[in-house]
Amino acid sequence: MIKTKLLDKYADARAEMILLLKERGIADESVLKAMSEVERHLFIPLPLRNHAYDDAALPIGEGQTISQPYTVAIMTEELHVKELDKVLEIGTGSGYQTAILAAMGIRVFTIERLPGLLKTAKQVLESLNVRFVSKMSDGTIGWREFSPFDGILVTAGAPEIPKPLIEQLKVGGKLVIPVGSQDFQQMKIVTKVDENNRCEIIDKADFKFVPLIGKEGWHEDDSR
Ligand code: SAH
């Protein structure tokens, strides 16, 4: 352990990132602890690693991005999940959000539609001994086999809330999803209130995500 700390030249930058998250209002200790432990730079392409702890989204290839630390923190906090809960993540991307959830003791199921990104993310996560279950697929239809979930996190912007995701939530569970145009989206916190898939929806601030592409999302030929 001590050896890892000495070799971790990013430890100070990571501590500063945590301070900034606190200043911006992130208060959930389990989220802050996970984000102070997981080495974000390992999920960033080498040439950009010096920016790994900036509060910014960064390119990870194939036109996709790793979400900025504040966005990861607020989405995870809004899920209100705890150790051993089951969470479905749509959009594995770099694998960073997967690692954060796993560090919180959550059982993570993650879906990515681009094979190249999933391959790289799996390699990084496996090298860190992160426990997760993943598949390459269209996440807009969820993952019925492992449902119902305590929480569902969508890390790409949707035109509307995909129905299958509500169906695959437990009653009382939350779906955190950015919804809007392809240019910007409003973060929605959707709580399933009964077995008939009725929901309460709270709108949060605006964000900008890459598009969620799939059956219940944007279609590949939708013009931007
Ligand atoms: N959670 C990621 C963020 C990645 S960006 C991270 O921590 O790095 C969003 C990702 O969603 C992209 O990799 C994109 O390819 C993926 N995506 C878009 N539509 C999808 C769909 N229908 N199913 C699964 N993944 C999707």
Ligand 1 site, residue 76, Cβ cutoff 6 A: no
The verdict on residue 12 lying in a domain is: yes
So what's the pLDDT on residue 1? 52
Boundaries of domain holding 169: 2-207
CATH number at 91 reads 3.40.50.150
Whole-angstrom CA distances from 169 to 32, 85, 190 are 25, 12, 10
Helix/strand/coil for 93: coil
User: Separation of 113 CA from ligand 1 center, angstroms?
Assistant: 7
Global pTM reads: 0.96
Of residues 108, 92, 94, 197, the one with CA closest to residue 149: 108
Q: How many domains does the chain fold into?
A: 1
- If you measure from the C-alpha of residue 4 to the centroid of ligand 1, how many angstroms do you get, rounded to a whole number? 30
DSSP state of 141: G
Question: Does any domain span residue 217?
Answer: no
Residue 127 lies in a domain: yes
Which atom of ligand 1 is nearest to 140's Cα?
22
Query: How does pLDDT run along the chain (224 residues), one tens digit per residue?
Result: 555 555 689 999 999 999 999 999 999 999 999 999 999 999 999 999 999 999 999 999 999 999 999 999 999 999 999 999 999 999 999 999 999 999 999 999 999 999 999 999 999 999 999 999 999 999 999 999 999 999 999 999 999 999 999 999 999 999 999 999 999 999 999 999 999 999 999 999 999 999 999 999 999 888 55
Cβ(211)–Cβ(134) below 8 Å: no
Ligand 1 centroid–CA 29 distance in Å is 26
pLDDT at res. 106: 98
Structure tokens at 172: 């009382």
214 CB near ligand 1 (under 6 Å)? yes
Look at residue 221 in the predicted model and tell me its pLDDT.
82
What is the rounded distance in angstroms from the CA atom of residue 170 to the CA atom of residue 158?
21
Query: Does 62 fall in a domain?
Result: yes
User: Is 66 close to ligand 1, i.e. is its CB under 6 Å away?
Assistant: yes
